[in-house]
Structure 1
Amino acid sequence: MGAILDPSDARMTGGGAVNGHLYDVAWFRWLVALCIALPVITVVLGELIHRLQRRDNHLEATARAIRHTVAPALALALFARYVLRIESETWTQVLDTLVWVSAINAALSLVNVVLFQRAEQSTWRARVPRLFLDLTRFLLVVVGATLVLAAVWDSDIGGIMTALGVGTIVIGLALQETLGSIVSGVALLFERPFAEGDWIRVGDTVGRVVDMNWRSVRLRTFDEDIATIPHLMIAKDLILNYTEPAKLHIERISIGFSYDDAPNLVKRTMLDIARSTEGVLMDPPPEVHTLSYDDFSIAYEVRVYVEDYGRLLEIRDDFTTRIWYAAKRAGLTIPFPIRTLHFFDGQTLRADKAASDLAQGLSATTVLLPSETSDLAATGVGATMLHFGAGEYVVRAGDDGGTLYVVVAGRARMVIGGHDDEQIVLTLGRGEFFGELALHHGESSPVSIVATEDVELVALSAEAVQQLMTTRPALAREVDDIAGARRRTIESVQRLGARG
C-alpha cells in the first residue's frame, strides 16, 4: 500500500497523485469500494431472498430484481465511469440507460407486490388477472424506457414513437400468431371463463390451471404433467370449467348387468354403493338410470355428484371397485361381451325352467297343500309366474276379477282411492295372496295392488282355483274368511278417510 505511483499513472489520476499513496487516488478508492460493496450487497440480498422465500413473501421478486439486474448494472456503470474513466459519451449513455431501465423494472415489481400480490382476497386488487398485470408492467417499462432515452440520449420523443410505431407494424406482421395469442389472452381476461386453481377441459385436455401468462395457459393434468395451451387455441376451442361457478360436478359411470337381473335390484345395489363411497355427495343424491337393452347386457348409468374434482379419479376408482363385491353379494352378473352358443331343445328347456320356477313360487304360499302345489307345478295349467317392478300396478280398482295372486318374493300394498289420496289398507308379503275379493264374489276389484318393491307372483286362474276348492272345500272357507276380514278392513279405512 505504500508504493508510489509511476509517473505514467499521472494520466489516470489527473496528474495530482504522482508522489502520493495509492489509496489517495480517486479511481483506486472507487475500485476498492466496488470490490467490497458489490459482494456484500449480493450476499445480503441473497440472504434476504432466502428468508423471504421461506416465509412465502412476495417481496422476494423485488429483491431478486435488485440483486440480479439493478446492483450489477449500477456497479458496471460506476466501474466504467470512475475506475476505467471511459470518456465515450455513447458508452456512458448506454450504461445509464441500462441502470434506469433496471431500476424502473424493480420499482414496478415492488408496486405490483404492494398493491396486488399482497392484497386480501376480498378486494378488487386480488381479482386483477396476472396476465393483465404482466402486460401493464411491460407497457410501463416501454414507456419508462422511452422517457429514459429522451432524457439520457437527449432524443426526440416524437421520433422515438414514430420508430416504435413502424417497428411495431413490422414485428406484428412477423409475429402474427404470437400477437394473436396475446390478443386472445386479453379477451380471456375480460371474459374470465376460468382462474388459477380451476379444473378445466380444453379440447381433450383436462387439468388444473397453474399459470396464465401473456402467451398461454398451463394446466397440471391428472398424470402430473404440465400442458401448455396457447391462448389462440383456447379461443377456438370449447372450454369446460369444473370448478366455477359451482364446484358441483356430475360424474357418469356406465355398467352392464345380465338380462336375468331385475333392473330395480341393480339400481338399489348401485345406489347403496354410491352412498357408501367417500367423496360422493348425498345432496344432490346419486341417481341410477336404465339406458338401453344391448346385445349381451342391460346398460345402466350411475350419476354421482362430486365436489372436489381433484379427487375424481380416486372416487371413481373406489366406486367401480366396490361394484364387483356388491354384485357378488346381491347375486348380480356382469356379463362378458361374448356370444355363447347353446345346443338344446329350446321348448323342453324353457318348459323345465318354467316348471321349476313355478314349483318354487307355489311353495311360498301357506294356503295350498304340498300335494296341490306339486300338481299345479307339474301340469302348469292355470298357473303363471309374473314379475312387477317397484311402483307398478298389479291390479287397479275396477279391474275385472278372475285371477288369484300369491306373493312369492317382495312386497306389495293394497290401497284404495286415487293416486293423490291413496290410503293403504294393508301390506302383503311372501306367502300371502290377493285377488280373492273379485275372484270369489265375481265382481270387479274394489282395491288396487301396487308393488312396494320388486315383487314375484304366481297368478292362478279362476279355473285352477275352482278346481282346488272343489277337491278341498276347506280352502274355500279359508279364502272366504280372509276375504270377509279384508272387506271389513277396507270399510274401516274408508270410514276413517271420510272423517278426515
Structure 2
Amino acid sequence: MTRVVDSSWFYWAVGVAIGLPICLVILTEVRAALARRGSALTKLVSLVRNYILPLGALLLLLTKATEVSAEATPVRIVSTVLGFVLLVLVLSGLNATLFQGAPEGSWRQRIPSIFLDVARFLVIAVGLAIIFSYIWGANVGGLFTALGISSIVLGLTLQNSVGQIISGLLLLFEQPFQIGDWVDTPSARGRVVEVNWRATHIDTGSGLQIIPNSVLAGASFANLSRPPGEHSITVVTEFAMGDPPDDVCGLLTRVASGLPNLRKDAAPSTVAAGAGQYKTSIPLRSPADDFRARATFTRWVWYASRRAQLRLDGQDDDFATPERVEKSVRIIAPTLRLNHTDHQQILSEVRLTRYSADEAIQSPGQVPKRMTFIVNGRVRLVAQGEDGAVITVRVLEEGDFLGSTTLTREPVSTGAYAVDEVTVLQLDRAAVEELVARKPLLLQEIGRTIEERQDDVRRALAAAD
C-alpha cells in the first residue's frame, strides 16, 4: 500500500498550502512599503498579490495536486485567465517603469501617446496569440499572414495620408514646442493650446488656427518661448533727419526702460539705422506681452518726443499755442496766488506739455528741477512698501501740483503716474524761487504741502501693513 507522503501530489499540496500564505504576507508588506513611498509599482504588486498568486496556486493544485489533465476545460479556463492577468501585468509594468517615472524632457516623456497605443496593441496581439496557441491549440499563423497582407495593401492605398500622419508623429516625438509656447509659423503666430497626433491648435488672439502637424514638419517656424528668458521685440521708429541721433537714442531707451512688461535684469537698447530710422530692442518677460508692450511704447514715444522737442515722423509739436498757455495759466493762478502782473510775467516762463496714460511723471528718489501743475487729467501718487508692493497714496486733479521739493532740493518720496492723458504746466526752479521771494504765503503753502504728502505716505504704508 502506497503511503501518502510518497505521492507527488502531497508535496505540491503542502507546498501551495504553506507557500501561498507566506507569499501573500510578504507581498502585503512590500505593497505597504511602496505605497508609503508613493511608488508607481504599488499597483503592480497589488495585481500580483490579489490575482496572479492565487490563480497560479489554483493552477498548481489542479495540474499537480489533483493531477487534472492540462487538456481539461477547467485547467484551460484558469490558464487563460492567468494569461490575461499576466498580460495586464506586462502592460502596466512597462508603463510604470519606462514612462511614468520618465525624467523631464527625456525621450521617454516625449513619445506621443499614439505610439504607446500602437505598442500596447502589438503586445496585446502577441499575448493573445500565445494564449490561444499554447492553451487552446489554435492556429494563429494564418491570421497573422492575412493581417500582414491586408496591412501592406492598405498602406499602399493610403500612403499619402499615412505619410502625413507619420510626419506629424515624428514632430510630436521631437517636441520642438510644448503647450503654452509661443510660435511664429508661416500661417499663424500665437500660443500653442493643444497638440494631438494630427494637428496643432494655435491661439492667435483673433481665433483658433488649426495647422496639420505634417505642414509644420515640412516648414520652418520659430519658437518664441525658447530659450526661456531670451525673448525680445524690435520696434522701428523714424525721426526727422535734423534731430540729434544721441538725443533720439537716449529718449527711446528711457521710454522703453519704463515699460511694465520689461524683463527683469535686462535693459533695452536703441541704435540708429540710418535715414532717420531707429531700432529699439526691448527684452520682454513673455511673447504674450508683445502686442501690449509695442502699443504702449509707440504711444509713450509720441508724447515723450514732443516733450523733448524731437520730431517723430518729421512732425513738429504745435500743442502749446498762446491761447492754450493763457488758459492754462488762469487755471493754476489761484494755486500760485498770481495777480495780473504775475500772470503776464509768467506766460513766457511756463511750458505746456502732455503725458500719456500710465506714463511716469515723477519717480521716487528723484530731485525735481521744476514744479509741475496739473491743468487737465488725473495723476496717481504711489509709494513703495517694504515688500516692494506699489501702494496708491492719493489721486491729484486739476490745480494740484508735483515737485513740491523743488525749492528744498530734496528727493521726493512718491512716484507719480498719469491715470489718463494729463496736461501740465511746468515752471523751472529759478522762476519758482523768484515767485516765492515776492509771496511768502506761497512758500508756506508749499511747505505745508510737503508735510501733507509725507503724512499721506506714512498713512498709506501703515494701512498696507
TM over 0.5: no
